[in-house]
Chains A and B, each alone.
Chain A
Amino acid sequence: MRRFRRNRGALLGAVLVALLVGAAVFAPWLADRGPSQQDLRARLQPPSLTHPFGTDEFGRSLYSRVLHGARVSLLTGLIPVVAALVVGSSLGLLAGFFGGRLEGAIMRVMDVLLAFPSLLLALAVVGTLGPGLVNAVIAIAVVEIPQYARLVRSVVLGTREEDYVQAARALGAGNARLMLRHVLPSAIGPIVVQATLGIGFAILAMAGLSFLGLGVQPPTADWGEMLARGRRFLPEATWLMVFPGVAVSLTVLAFNLLGDGLRDALDPRS
């Protein structure tokens, strides 16, 4: 904890993440008006005192939409990571603990998933299931699963022969108990680091899918979707491209800083 506090980058990341979560939670109170409230007399207004981030083609406040976009982005960043974490860690745990054919089968499947560039795999999943928010979330989860499976398996391989695990086994602990109580806890540190960096990746990937029109669909206030629509009003309305893009970048930067900091803090070598 002390090492983490001394890392200025990590601290900045933590503060940014806290601010983002705050913005997402309190969006309705912080916004000047609802994210979908139209004002057709004030279409495509540049940033001003009345419209801090300007307005879009329906006269909606971009400030409010960017603020509310934080909710969608944090959720679509968190959900696939949690799903991938649960599925991937379980697979890695099973593979590392039992070894043999089960391990071979699980890890070969993971190898195949890793043989695809990550965005391509996400596109393949969306191409199979069809565009849309839920399918995009599934796609990003699928992309992230192998990372947790590999990570947890390698930790399990390192700990399953440890004396304390063997001692617990000798005391009559069953497989499930051994895995969950004695082996899994050593993997939690690396999993937390991976998940933090994974949220950054997921938000980036989701912004990309929504930008391509394959993720979040209008009229939901989402940063990727805002960028996809904003491009049609170039070169006049550059603010439509600037604010949502800055929001995505800052969010991803925050999680990257936090993840790097956690890794340094948890790494006994540093």
Chain B
Amino acid sequence: MLRYVVGRLVGTVPVLFGVTLLVFAMTVLTPGDRVVALLGDAAQGLGQAAREELRQELGLDQPLPLQYVQYVSGLVQGDLGRSARSRRPVVAEIRDRLPATVELALAGLAIAVALGVSLGVLAAVRRGSVFDSLAVAVALVGVSVPVFWMGFLLMIVFALELGWLPASGRGTWRHLVLPAVTVGVASAAFIARITRGAVIETLGQDYVRTARSKGLAERRVVLRHALRPAMLPIVTVVGLQLGGLLGGAVLTETVFAWPGVGRLLVDAIVARDLPLVQGCVLVIALLFIGVNLVVDLSYAAINPKVRYG
């Protein structure tokens, strides 16, 4: 197991290198003057000489590989530069918003797993029934509906019409319900599809028949003997869903005025605040890579084949 963990950690290094390189490249690839891109409108009105001075001060006259090294050494020290608009450190801007995004993503994930697995198992157990066809249809529609539109539908029904929950903002747990359900539903649909397939497959296995013939209660057969081995594909798909979940969170934050990193990123793009865009992209990507690592490791923990294979 230790060998697997170390191997997996080492495997992350080239990905981290690539991700930081790509985020660094954003300043190089952005059209127009890089001084303006990094400093915002303040630099717009400056003369040629003043810009040249700033260019040297920012190290933009250095060769690109050296600039990249400086960028990464800044990152390691927690320096992501300053926002072109607010002039605050990017790290501080993101630190203010990160807890909201993590809260939303975790709550969304919990809903996705709970809803997806139970819907999938029920559909598998009652295969061929009306409930099954309905679950399959719901899952298919769930992956086709835009996340943000789902958010508005929920908002219109539960906040504006029924008045049960607040329509926007962050504060109490009641504020969290609608955004979390919005984020979770699309992933729940995927998870339900995979769970249904996996459980149907394990239900047909000999050992399940043996368990039934021993006279075990059906509930126990399903939960202990059929669902357990089906967890492997389910965990995999949960890992794969995280990207969509984080992307959905960006859109959902806009719908519900949820003060997270996603909303910050979109505002930064609209304001052409490149350092802040870079910071948000990097942090969300790192979050994604980190969680994927955890999923991979937990995958190894439940499946010996992965550890020793």
Residue of A nearest to B156 (CB): A238
Interface string of A174-193 (1 = CB under 8 A from B): 00000000000000000000
Tell me which residues across on chain A come within 8 A of B301, comparing CB atoms.
none
Interface residues of B in 59-76 (CB under 8 A from A): none
Tell me which residues across on chain A come within 8 A of B153, comparing CB atoms.
241, 245
B5 proximal to A (CB < 8 A):
no
| Nearest CB in chain A: distance from B119 CB, A | 18
With A249-B144, A256-B144 already in contact, the answer to whether A129 and B247 are too (CB < 8 A) is no
Question: Contact between A234 and B270 (Cβ–Cβ < 8 Å)?
Answer: no
B143 proximal to A (CB < 8 A):
yes
| Nearest CB in chain A: distance from B15 CB, A | 5
B146 proximal to A (CB < 8 A):
yes
Residue of B nearest to A256 (CB): B144
Tell me which residues across on chain B come within 8 A of A234, comparing CB atoms.
152, 155-156, 160
Tell me which residues across on chain B come within 8 A of A130, comparing CB atoms.
30-31, 272
Most buried by A among B26, B148, B254: B148
Most buried by B among A115, A126, A214, A252: A115
Interface residues of A in 245-262 (CB under 8 A from B): 245, 248-250, 252-253, 256-257
Assembly CA distance A112 to B254 (angstroms): 27
Tell me which residues across on chain B come within 8 A of A211, comparing CB atoms.
146, 148, 251, 254
Interface residues of A in 1-43 (CB under 8 A from B): 9
| Nearest CB in chain A: distance from B54 CB, A | 21
Interface residues of A in 190-216 (CB under 8 A from B): 200, 204, 207-208, 211-214
Question: Contact between B246 and A120 (Cβ–Cβ < 8 Å)?
Answer: yes
Residue of A nearest to B12 (CB): A115
The segment out of B107-115, B173-181, B231-239, B277-285 that lies at the interface is B277-285
Question: Contact between B18 and A115 (Cβ–Cβ < 8 Å)?
Answer: yes
Assembly CA distance A108 to B19 (angstroms): 11
A124 proximal to B (CB < 8 A):
yes
Question: Contact between A249 and B145 (Cβ–Cβ < 8 Å)?
Answer: yes
Tell me which residues across on chain A come within 8 A of B140, comparing CB atoms.
9, 253, 256-257
Assembly CA distance A231 to B278 (angstroms): 29
A100 proximal to B (CB < 8 A):
no
Assembly CA distance A204 to B30 (angstroms): 25
Interface residues of B in 241-280 (CB under 8 A from A): 242-244, 246-248, 250-251, 254-255, 265-266, 268-270, 272, 274, 277-278
Cβ-defined partner of A256 (8 Å) among B14, B143, B289: B143
| Nearest CB in chain B: distance from A80 CB, A | 16
Interface residues of B in 122-180 (CB under 8 A from A): 140-141, 143-149, 152-153, 155-156, 160-161
Main secondary structure of the interface of A (DSSP, over half): helix
Question: Contact between A120 and B247 (Cβ–Cβ < 8 Å)?
Answer: yes
| Nearest CB in chain A: distance from B143 CB, A | 7
The interface size bin for chain B is 35 or more
With A245-B146, A253-B140 already in contact, the answer to whether A120 and B19 are too (CB < 8 A) is no
Tell me which residues across on chain A come within 8 A of B246, comparing CB atoms.
117, 119-120
A74 proximal to B (CB < 8 A):
no
Residue of A nearest to B152 (CB): A241
Interface string of A128-144 (1 = CB under 8 A from B): 11110000000000000
Interface residues of B in 3-33 (CB under 8 A from A): 14-15, 18-19, 21-23, 26, 29-31
A109 proximal to B (CB < 8 A):
yes
Tell me which residues across on chain A come within 8 A of B141, comparing CB atoms.
249, 253
With A120-B281, A200-B144, A208-B147 already in contact, the answer to whether A115 and B19 are too (CB < 8 A) is yes
Assembly CA distance A109 to B17 (angstroms): 11
Tell me which residues across on chain A come within 8 A of B272, comparing CB atoms.
130
| Nearest CB in chain B: distance from A130 CB, A | 7
Assembly CA distance A243 to B177 (angstroms): 25
**Pairs across A and B, CB under 8 Å, 5 listed:** A124-B26, A204-B144, A227-B148, A234-B155, A234-B160
Residues of B within 8 A of A (CB): 14-15, 18-19, 21-23, 26, 29-31, 140-141, 143-149, 152-153, 155-156, 160-161, 242-244, 246-248, 250-251, 254-255, 265-266, 268-270, 272, 274, 277-278, 281, 284-285, 288-289
Q: A208-B247, A214-B269, A252-B145 are in contact. List 18 more A-B contacts (CB 8 A).
A: A9-B140, A108-B14, A112-B18, A115-B19, A116-B285, A117-B285, A118-B243, A119-B244, A123-B265, A123-B269, A128-B30, A208-B146, A212-B269, A214-B270, A231-B255, A241-B153, A245-B149, A256-B140
